[in-house]
Structure 1
Amino acid sequence: MNPADRWERRLYLTAHPVAYPLLRLAGRRPVVRVPGVGVVISDAALAREVLLDGDTFRKDGPGSPGELWTPILGPSVLLNMEGDAHRALRGRLAGLFTPAYTERLCARVLAEPLERLAERLDAGAEVDLVDTMRVMAGAVIGHVIGLETRDEDGYRHLFEQGERIVSMITLRTRRLTSSQVARARRVLDPLGDVAAEAYAAGDDGTVMGRMRGLGLSEGEARGAAGAFFLTGTETVATLVPRLIALLHDSGTLGRVAADPSLLDRAIDEAMRVGTPTPVMLRSVHAPATVGGVAIAPGDRVLIATHNCCRALGPFDLDRPHPPEVRRLWFGAGPHFCLGYPLAMAEIRAVARTLLAASPLVITRRRAARGVLLPTYRHLRVRRAAP
């Protein structure tokens, strides 16, 4: 096993020492029914078929994401909607995170943190990319919600608040307990109040103000802010350290630094290997057959996105992604991640700064425990000596 693969496996086993081996075991068959879990799909083509069939496989029934998120985010946040209501809200949000807008937003919000990062690397200082990304992710999501936080400790605190909520969920969690919902609400309600104030101000220069201009109600905008806060911060924050580690361990960091046109390919390949959304849930609403397995209404479907993506093999910068795998970790069809352009803009901005300081060496790293998304507890890098 090469170093890149060995470290990725360690991240998953440290985060999910019991669930991860079981998930990989289920991946030996394209579709398998696992007692207490549901029907597990580990084939990318079948997974994409399920994700595209929003009538049969839904996000708003028993065992679906709706059971997790509705109690803390409300009933209308895309994550727990289907049908006409989902299409209508999705349509109003379609113009929110355009690629051009997100590039400008990240360039503006991250200008100072990225300048400090570049200065530290240029000076030969050791930098913890995990902490760095907590600051970056906190800065961006704080701007999206409308917070006035402008210091690194504030950004870290904001990120940690979201991390505490997400860490309550495991790969087997079906629903949150009443005490977990209460804890989540204590974090989200004040953030929702801030988002509502930004919405009421109606400034087109803010994300919340743009939501008002796009025709969202205050409740819808508030729910969307909470959803972005919970689903967007950790995905980006955990990916960048893993991206740099994968490039470093595979010996391709210098190659991408020398050829910026390879960056998006490197990001996609790192996401395929790391799979920021390792599983996706759906509730079955009509009889169906997937991969020869009969599925009945009320069944729970667990799409093992990680198994689907890892079937292509270990990290390889030159590996083409077949259509059924392409960006599967962001979903497919009507539920393809709305924040995809924002996530990519943020990852690119930080990665470009790191690559500009190349060559980099990893000085220390450690896998994180007690997290939903496998990640490093710390990953420290510095510019290599000439």
Structure 2
Amino acid sequence: MLTGDRAAAWERRLYLAAHPVAYPLLRGIARRGPAVRVPGVGVVVNDAAAARAVLMDGETFRKDGPGSPAELWTPVLGPSVLLNMEGDAHRALRRRLADLFTPSYAAALCSRVLSAPLERLADRLARGAAVDLVDASRVMAGAVIGEVIGLDARDEAAYRALFERGERIVSMISLRTRRLSPPQVARARAVLDPLGDIAAASYAAGDETTVMGRMRALGLSPDEARGAAGAFFLTGTETVATLLPRLIALLADSGQLGRVAADPGGLLDRAVEEAMRAATPTPVMLRSVHRPAAVAGVAVRPGDRVLIATHNCCRALGPFDLDRPHPPELRRLWFGAGPHFCIGYPLAMAEIRLVARTLLAATPLRITRRAAARDVLIPTYRHLAVRSEGSAP
């Protein structure tokens, strides 16, 4: 099998393991045009330019109506967490949070928090041990998000436990989920409320070297800061933890791992962006229509649900290719666009860069075993073990 074919085959395997019914349907809808009305689903958008136009128009296509993310997250996180807001209130909160994760602050935070876990990872690779990148990525993601919410945790077991708390909530959701049932909301609140208490205590302490202290200094109310912490917890772990193993697998399967390792300063960010396009860590996005409009020629009316098939938009460019430029309409679409572009983007990139550089420094790497995860929201590996071929005997 050619290297490019191997990369595409494994990515397809991950999606089919995660969504054995929904994924073939999603890909089938992609062949029906840039936008198509699907009974029981809504208007599905398969074209990057049309998707970006929807995301940029926050007055027509909103996150706070029927079939939108608000129906899913408001019962769990409360009414004011960016994920479920629009209009003046959203713009005001977004302005106050604009300086929370500057690139320099995000890089410094990740460097400090990940120093010890990355040192242990590098040591294991240097000794020739097989390392499960799924587990390692969960540890890293748990460490960073623990720092964000103010959790006093300093060992890998605590980081894993924190990641697993978020996983218990995300596992309730599928591509077909519109809202959580009352028992599911109760289970989610049982996970989040103790973490919210920790975040609230960090906020009350007012230490501006902490993320929660920075929120207080930026003018967020206690409820807003607590809600933001919950939103960061839910959205800031799975994306990074699932992307890192897939990034290394895509580079290895496409024969590009050594090339990026030889020039991480010039190629790593490009590799990360292309891996995110191919993997699409946010397979779909939802919006609710608030006034009559059209999406790629399909008329929509108030109350309609718009499902942006981000994966279809991204896959239209072709399989993973480190040398393929991204057209403007596709640029970082997996992080959103317009008023809801992911505010945690600098933090995610800082974390991915640090972990990836540690792995690249251990090349040549060989994948020794892997398996796809089943019944998960974001397609990922159940395990992906690598060993450094250049390690000391």
TM-score (norm 2): 0.98
- 1:143-162 per-position Cα deviation (integer Å, ceiling 9, x unaligned): 00000111111110100010
Q: 2:48 aligns with which of 40, 44, 53?
A: 44
Whether 2:343 is the aligned partner of 1:331: answer: no
Distance 2:363 2:302 in 1: 53
Where do 5+ consecutive residues of structure 1 fail to align? none
Partner of residue 261, structure 2: 257
Partner of residue 9, structure 1: 12
Partner of residue 112, structure 2: 108
Structure 1: which amino acid aligns with 2:13? R
Partner of residue 28, structure 2: 25
TM-score (norm 1): 0.99
Whether 2:252 is the aligned partner of 1:248: answer: yes
Whether 2:287 is the aligned partner of 1:282: answer: yes
Q: Is the 8 A contact 2:69 2:83 kept in 1?
A: yes
Distance 1:288 1:164 in 2: 38
Whether 2:117 is the aligned partner of 1:117: answer: no
Distance 2:162 2:38 in 1: 37
Q: How does 1:1-386 map to 2 (within 5 A)?
A: 2-28=5-31, 29-260=33-264, 261-385=266-390
Report deviation, 1:291. 1.2
Structure 1: which amino acid aligns with 2:221? S
Report deviation, 1:385. 5.0
Distance 2:194 2:245 in 1: 30
Distance 2:352 2:75 in 1: 30
Report deviation, 1:46. 0.3
Distance 1:329 1:289 in 2: 22
Distance 2:29 2:69 in 1: 21
Distance 2:328 2:235 in 1: 25
Structure 1: which amino acid aligns with 2:105? Y
Where do 5+ consecutive residues of structure 2 fail to align? none
Report deviation, 1:166. 0.6
Paired-residue identity, %:
79
Match of 1:372, SS?
coil
Report deviation, 1:68. 0.4
Report deviation, 1:123. 0.5
